[in-house]
């Protein structure tokens, strides 16, 4: 397998300020030097190394936006996007671990948690606890608010009963942002957000899914059997969880876009490296115009997707409307990731479908991009509604 020490295609430096370039370079170096040697091993085992997750914490990558007073880095949303992109260029499983921690769970607490909740949970989230976001169920995927998990109000506590499915980071997590319906008769207006610690009575992490891609990133079932949740662990108001869920996912979709452009960039870099070394008919395949055109079109696609993602991230950071832009970024980047990874395999030829080269893994990892955190069809609906003023 050829080493890829100096990828040919990198994000445009003009899009970043000096602090962002330094941050990006640090994460890129870490991903290449510390994560890359274990990517194949983790994929085959279906487990992400604990020592690497600890390094995420040591580097501050699990608390990028958490204020310094709570042990975080006091960084920006855009830095979180850059981290996800750089990690995903080496291993998309690493990217999604950092994504869920920062742009979904930490972000939700920063926006909606009480001062007491922030003081209790942000320090461990910055320093030691992996976080997980639990919304989906067997019967509620795209129709997320048809959830069957119930929360019964007992005064000083709630009793939660139900099952969650396809929950990212669940195997490693010590903390769960979980949604249950406290008033089923009210439909989605009964959905409520709860802060769950792993050792709460009645809470259990169940079966770990055996997946085609992102195998090192855990995806598990959660089982709640009269799980006792103190009332102080209610986040926001009863029945207002739908707002938290929707707005958090809108921002998380930008990070999935970052994961997908990182993946696509990694696939393109591998294709370029292989085109430079593989010889046929007395010259490298990169000297053939057909291969050159493929590489050029791949680069255009990656750059277009990156600009959509960066634009959505900048809008969010500036406090401007970004709903349609986030949907566009997530939709297009996930489409491009699969396309570029597939073309990279073709440029590699027969070895591309073997595990001797990394591109087959990137192709497997790309498939989920069009499915999780809102399918491609859901993104198209969001864009269309914005266009039509609905």
Domain annotation covers residue 106: yes
Which residues fall within 8 angstroms of residue 265, CB to CB, at 6 or more apart?
Answer: 7, 9, 10, 11, 85, 89, 302, 306
Q: Is 287 a catalytic residue?
A: no
Find, among 276, 269, 275, 278, the residue nearest to 341 by Cα: 269
What pLDDT sits at residue 4? Answer: 53
- Does residue 138 lie within any of the structural domains? yes
Q: 170 and 144, same structural domain? A: yes
pLDDT > 80? residue 3:
no
Of 189, 214, 240, the residue at which a domain comes to its end is 240
Q: What is the pLDDT of residues 37-60, one digit of tens each?
A: 999 999 999 999 999 999 999 999
Is residue 178 assigned to a domain? yes
Decide which of 240, 260, 291 is a domain's last residue. 240
108 and 173 belong to one structural domain: no
Mean pLDDT throughout 290-296?
98
Enumerate the β-bridge partners of residue 195.
Answer: 177
pLDDT above 70 coverage of the chain, percent: 96
Is there a single domain that holds both residue 147 and residue 32? no
pLDDT, residue 140, reads: 86
According to the model, what pLDDT value does residue 9 have? Answer: 53
pLDDT attached to residue 10: 53
Our measurement of the distance from residue 87's CA atom to the centroid of its chain's CA atoms, rounded to an integer in Å, reads: 11
Active-site position among 137, 325, 360, 373 = 373
11 conformational bin, left if phi > 0, alpha if psi -120 to 50, beta if neither: beta
Domain count, the chain: 3
Determine, yes or no, domain membership for 2. Answer: no
Calculate the average pLDDT of the chain: 95
Residue 160 inside a domain? The answer is yes
Decide: 44 and 106 in contact? Cβ < 8 Å.
Answer: no
pTM value is: 0.94
Same domain membership, residue 148 and residue 221: yes
Which of 264, 278, 277 lies closest to 308 in space, CA to CA?
264
Q: Which of the residue ranges 1-15, 218-232, 308-322 would you say has the lowest mean pLDDT?
A: 1-15
Does residue 380 share a domain with residue 247?
A: yes
The vertex-372 CA angle with 371 and 378, nearest 5°, equals: 65
The proportion of the chain whose per-residue pLDDT surpasses 90, expressed as a percent, equals: 93
With the C-alpha atoms ordered 35, 38, 43, 49, is the resulting torsion angle positive or negative?
Answer: negative
- State the pLDDT at residue 138: 92
Q: How far apart are CA 52 and CA 170, in angstroms?
A: 17
Q: What is the mean pLDDT of residues 293-307?
A: 97
CATH assignment of the domain containing 102: 1.10.540.10
What integer pLDDT is reported at residue 1 of this predicted model? Answer: 47
8 within domain boundaries: no
Range of the domain at 124: 13-129
pLDDT at 149 over 60: yes
pLDDT for the residue 144: 78
Shared domain check, 141 and 50 = no
Cβ atoms of residues 145 and 102 within 8 Å: no
Q: What is the pLDDT of residue 145?
A: 81
Confidence of residue 13 (pLDDT cuts 50, 70, 90): low
| pLDDT score recorded for residue 353 | 96
Nearest to 88 by CA among 339, 341, 325, 382: 341
Domain edge (last residue) among 213, 240, 267: 240
Residues 378 and 275 in one domain: yes
Do 336 and 216 share a domain, yes or no? no
Q: Which of 117, 115, 252 is nearest to 195 (CA)?
A: 117
CATH number for the domain that contains residue 166: 2.40.110.10
pLDDT digits (tens, 9 = 90+) for 76-90: 999 999 999 999 999
Residues 282 and 223 in one domain: no
Q: What is the pLDDT of residues 177-196, one digit of tens each?
A: 999 999 999 999 999 999 99
């Amino acid at each position: 397998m050829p080493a890829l020490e100096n990828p040919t295609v990198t994000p445009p430096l003009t899009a970043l300020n000096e602090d962002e370039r330094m941050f990006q370079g640090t994460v890129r170096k870490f991903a290449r030097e510390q994560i890359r040697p274990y990517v194949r091993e983790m994929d085959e085992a279906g487990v992400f190394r604990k020592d690497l997750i600890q390094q995420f914490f040591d580097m501050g990558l699990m608390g990028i936006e958490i204020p310094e007073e709570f042990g975080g880095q006091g960084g920006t949303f855009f830095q979180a996007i850059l981290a996800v992109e750089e990690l995903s260029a080496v291993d998309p499983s690493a990217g999604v671990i950092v994504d869920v921690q920062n742009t979904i769970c930490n972000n939700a607490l920063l926006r909606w948690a009480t001062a007491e909740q922030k003081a209790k949970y942000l320090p461990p989230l910055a320093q030691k606890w992996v976080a997980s976001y639990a919304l989906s169920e067997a019967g509620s995927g795209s129709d997320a608010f048809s959830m069957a998990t119930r929360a019964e109000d007992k005064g000083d506590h709630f009793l939660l009963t139900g099952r969650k499915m396809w929950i990212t980071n669940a195997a490693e997590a010590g903390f769960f942002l979980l949604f249950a319906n406290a008033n089923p008769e009210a439909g989605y207006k009964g959905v409520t957000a709860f802060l769950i610690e792993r050792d709460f009575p009645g809470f259990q992490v169940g079966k770990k899914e055996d997946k085609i891609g992102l195998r090192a990133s855990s995806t598990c079932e959660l089982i709640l059997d009269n799980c006792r949740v103190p009332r102080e662990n209610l986040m926001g108001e009863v029945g207002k969880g739908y707002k938290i869920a929707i707005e958090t996912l809108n921002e998380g979709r930008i990070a999935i876009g970052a994961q997908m452009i990182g993946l696509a960039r990694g696939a393109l870099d591998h294709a370029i490296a292989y085109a430079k070394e593989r010889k046929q008919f007395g010259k490298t395949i990169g000297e053939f115009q057909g291969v050159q055109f493929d590489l050029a079109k791949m680069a255009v696609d990656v750059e277009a997707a990156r600009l959509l993602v960066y634009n959505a991230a900048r809008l969010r950071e500036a406090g401007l409307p970004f709903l349609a832009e986030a949907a566009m970024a997530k939709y297009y980047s996930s489409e491009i990731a699969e396309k570029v990874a597939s073309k990279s395999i073709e440029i590699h030829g027969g070895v591309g479908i073997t595990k001797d080269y990394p591109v087959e893994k990137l192709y497997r990892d790309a498939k989920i991009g069009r499915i999780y955190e809102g399918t491609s069809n859901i993104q198209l609906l969001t864009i269309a509604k914005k266009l039509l003023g609905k």
